[in-house]
Amino acid sequence: MYKLENLSKEFHEKENSIAAVKNVNLHIEKGEIFGIIGFSGAGKSTLVRCLNLLEVPTSGKVIFNGKNLMEISQTELRKYRQKIGMIFQSFNLLAQRNIVDNVCYPLEIAGVKKKEARKKALALLKLVGIEEKAKNYPSQLSGGQKQRVAIARALATDPDVLLCDEATSALDPITTTAILELLKEINQKLGVTIIIITHEMKVVQQICDSVAVMSEGTIVEQGAVKEIFATPESEITKRLVWDWNFDSRSMYYEEGDT
């Protein structure tokens, strides 16, 4: 599915150079739910934007479905991007379009006929459990509802993979759980590979099969989620697991006190 080889990304500001991603090597299997976690500034959002070349890597390879995206033309890249859906923390919905038209948007760009696009959009809204809001506008929806629309839109072009960049960070805990359960259901029903960028270990624990931990632009640890939680090796991973354990205990005591 995805294979990154010695991937690096540098940003240049005047005479300074900032290495956001440094020699990253990852292998993400088809059908997997893969987490990339780290504290703020770790480089994880830059890394996920390199996966579809929204950020062009400075060096290395981005191999998607056997093709190195660094070596293809812009025309080919546009075709490959149709197979890479993306959802964001800020939803990125079009305020002037109603919900069904938001989901239709990528289909319009792909040249799908209006009637066919609308039929597919309505089916996707049903899949994510929000078909009754088809004629509403984004301003009329809650955060969780907006993210469901964003997921439906990301699925419109039948992607092989969904890239989720802090997709639940703006949501409350109950809504976060519901959105993660929806993503898990989509993974199981449609076989879509899901890559989740997050700073929250509880997100990784709830949904991911495997995880890579980032710090200062590098991968410091990776493996099956159960193994990483049971025996974290790097100091960063230990901190992330500790914070998650502390939050879990705090939640337990709060519930027990009510």
pLDDT in tens, 85-144: 999 888 889 999 999 999 999 999 889 999 999 999 999 999 999 999 999 999 999 999
Q: How far apart are CA 179 and CA 128, in angstroms?
A: 9
Residue 56 phi/psi, 5-degree rounding, is -80, 120
User: What are the CA-CA distances from residue 15 to residues 11, 21, 80, 115 (Å)?
Assistant: 11, 19, 35, 53
pLDDT of residue 21: 96
Q: How far apart are CA 204 and CA 87, in angstroms?
A: 17
pLDDT of residue 202: 87
pLDDT of residue 249: 46
pLDDT of residue 247: 54
**pLDDT band, residue 242 (cuts 50/70/90):** confident
pTM attached to this predicted model:
0.90
Q: Are 78 and 193 part of one and the same domain?
A: yes
**pLDDT band, residue 251 (cuts 50/70/90):** very low
Q: Are 183 and 197 part of one and the same domain?
A: yes
Picking from 105, 140, 158, the residue at the C-terminal end of a domain is 158
Q: State the average pLDDT over residues 137-165.
A: 95
Picking from 131, 158, 185, the residue at the C-terminal end of a domain is 158
Residue 66 phi/psi, 5-degree rounding, is 85, 0
pLDDT of residue 252: 40
Structural domain containing residue 15: 2-83+161-225
Q: How far apart are CA 191 and CA 159, in angstroms?
A: 10
Q: Are 151 and 167 part of one and the same domain?
A: no
Q: Are 7 and 132 part of one and the same domain?
A: no
Question: Into how many domains does the chain fold?
Answer: 2
CB 95: neighbour CB atoms within 10 A?
8
Are β-strands 210-215 and 2-13 bridged in parallel, bridged antiparallel, or unpaired? unpaired
Q: Is the pLDDT of residue 37 over 60?
A: yes
Return the H-helix or E-strand segment holding 132: none
Q: Is the pLDDT of residue 258 over 50?
A: no
Q: Are 107 and 204 part of one and the same domain?
A: no
Residue 37 near residue 44 (C-beta atoms within 8 A): yes
Q: Is the pLDDT of residue 8 over 80?
A: yes
Q: Is the pLDDT of residue 170 over 70?
A: yes
The residue with greater pLDDT, 246 or 204, is 204
Q: Which residues contact 76 (CB under 8 A, 6 or more apart)?
A: none
Q: Are 183 and 133 part of one and the same domain?
A: no
Q: Are 25 and 73 part of one and the same domain?
A: yes
Q: Are 75 and 174 part of one and the same domain?
A: yes
Return the DSSP state at 139.
G
Rg value, the chain, Cα: 19
* % of the chain residues with pLDDT over 90: 73
Residue 107 near residue 120 (C-beta atoms within 8 A): yes
Q: Is the pLDDT of residue 20 over 90?
A: yes
Copy the structure tokens of residue 206: 């709830």
Q: State the average pLDDT over residues 201-222.
A: 93
Let me know if residue 235 belongs to a domain. no
- Average pLDDT across the chain, whole number: 90
The candidate with the shortest Cα–Cα distance to 205, out of 186, 236, 187, 227, is 227
* % of the chain residues with pLDDT over 70: 94
CB 12: neighbour CB atoms within 10 A?
9
Residue 48 phi/psi, 5-degree rounding, is -65, -30
Q: How far apart are CA 163 and CA 34, in angstroms?
A: 10
Q: Are 98 and 150 part of one and the same domain?
A: yes
Q: Are 69 and 170 part of one and the same domain?
A: yes
